[in-house]
């Protein structure tokens, strides 16, 4: 009978310590589900250099670093611009910070800041 009681006590202790460990590991996770970042946190902008400006087509060719929000590595590629006014803000050789997103199946620059 002592061994059954000891087994129950040990089992309970192990179960409680595992739950406490799991709760401690998840203590700083954002479980709100809204995807909002705390104030002051990085906006998720990528860095790049303008290689070509195609005003007529509303496109920019950008040599860029990783696009983490799209899971893409560094490369040079063509992007549409969300706002045609972005085209007039830059010229070939400008360094920029930008956000690219997939909009209606096309990679599109949705935010742009000249450095």
What are 14-30's pLDDT values in tens digits?
Answer: 666 555 555 555 454 45
Taking CB atoms within 8 Å and a gap of at least 24, the contacts of 8-11 are none
For the chain, what is the radius of gyration of the CA atoms?
Answer: 25
The percent of residues above 70 in pLDDT, for the chain, comes to 64
In this prediction, residue 64 has a pLDDT band, given cuts at 50, 70 and 90, of very high
User: In angstroms, rounded to a whole number, what is the distance separating the alpha carbons of residues 107 and 82?
Assistant: 10
What are 74-88's pLDDT values in tens digits?
Answer: 999 999 999 999 999
Given a cut of 80, whether residue 92 has pLDDT beyond it is yes
Q: Are 58 and 84 in contact (CB under 8 A)?
A: yes
Predicted confidence at residue 88, as pLDDT, reads: 95
pTM score, two decimals? 0.63
**Residue bearing the bigger pLDDT, 9 or 39:** 9
In this prediction, residue 44 has a pLDDT band, given cuts at 50, 70 and 90, of confident
Q: Are 74 and 62 in contact (CB under 8 A)?
A: no
Backbone torsions φ then ψ of 69, nearest 5 degrees: -70, -20
**Domain locations along the chain:** 46-114
Cβ neighbours of 82 (radius 10 Å): 17
46-114 under CATH 2.40.30.10, yes or no: no
Mean predicted lDDT score pLDDT of the chain: 81
């Amino acid at each position: 009978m002592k061994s059954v009681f000891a087994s129950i006590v040990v089992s309970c202790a192990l179960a409680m310590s595992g739950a406490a460990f799991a709760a401690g590991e998840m203590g700083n996770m954002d479980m709100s589900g809204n995807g909002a970042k705390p104030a002051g946190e990085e906006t998720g902008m990528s860095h790049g250099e303008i290689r070509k400006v195609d005003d007529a087509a509303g496109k920019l060719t950008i040599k860029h670093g990783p696009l983490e929000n799209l899971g893409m590595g560094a490369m040079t590629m063509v992007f549409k611009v969300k706002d045609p006014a972005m085209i007039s803000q830059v010229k070939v050789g400008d360094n920029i910070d930008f956000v690219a997103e997939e909009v209606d199946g096309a990679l599109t620059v949705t935010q742009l800041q000249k450095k």
